[in-house]
Amino acid sequence: MEILFEVKNSTGIITLNRPKALNALNLNMAIQLSNKLKEWEIDDAVERVLLLGEGKHFCAGGDVKSVHLSGPFSELKREFFSKEYSLNLQINNFSKPYMSIWQGVVMGGGVGLSIYGDYIIATDSTKFAMPETSIGFFPDVGASFFLSKIKNNIGKYLGLTGELIQGKDLLNLNLASHYCPENKIDDLINQFIVDGSITKYEIETSSFFSNEKLDFINNNFSGTIHEIFNNIQTANDPFDLFKKLEHKCPMSLAVTSLLLKDSSKKSLNNCLEMEYRLSQKMTNRDDFAEGIQAVLIEKHHNPKWNPSSINEININELDKLFSDPIDNELKL
């Protein structure tokens, strides 16, 4: 079973159960999870929900490798992203307390399964990232909603670079709600199962971001991707951030910067609907196939992007990714 459900002392417990795939979410898991939440929403015997990942990791994201292997313009591309984004909204609207334990890797689709709940627990092992620009895609599952709300261009920085961040910064940026030391996780889980309460622990680790780096990001990561690149290079780039960006997919960078620029005042529904439109277009570009092949299948991490640099991006093509409607738009 790829996803497990049990009810223990009025707590519905969900376990993502694909540890060899770092619990990557596939269509079957998303359907089962959605159906179970509908059931538990109206079941008076279930008072709260707990989401866990089997093994050392929470969830490495959506199963985009299967999406790629399904071929161009496949039914799976429509069904998977439609169900995944609908599930993100369903979790946001779920009326009962919903807690996720972020152990190990938490990326992409794994963030979408948890960040809309009430309690998001960062641990000593948490490794959070939205790394989609490395595979010819863009930060989705509502990232345009939650990353655009982070002040001082930090959300845009995370979306463009795929930077991996941990406990202290997750709390500082309001991406996690609580911290729990690794050796207290079982206690925290048992406490939540017994009475729904959560002990607050203080985190002692320091922030990954120095004040100087925060200022640099705030001053230089605004505007279009062309403006950001120009800002970084003009500022002499003391943090080597240009190196983080130059190997990412140029069109993914352009899409991400534009998506986050225009989303800060949109509802989650609207953000997910726009992301769905983009998902159907981006997964059918050659860059997506190239990125999945290079990063997840052959693992040589040397994709050949087209266009190969931001200077070669066709602005009309970029605009059409956002503006041109698709068949079967997602309506939430």
221, burial (CB in 10 Å: exposed 0-12, middle 13-18, buried 19+): buried
CB atoms within 10 A of CB 149: 14
Catalytic machinery residues: 62, 109, 132, 140
Q: Which of 50-54, 72-76, 226-230 has the lowest mean pLDDT?
A: 72-76
Task: List the chain domain ranges.
Answer: 3-129+167-195, 211-323
Radius of gyration of the chain measured on its C-alpha atoms = 19
Architecture of domain 3-129+167-195: Alpha-Beta Complex (3.90)
CB atoms within 10 A of CB 309: 10
Mean pLDDT computed over 280-285 = 96
pLDDT at site 262: 80
pLDDT at site 297: 95
Mean pLDDT computed over 257-273 = 94
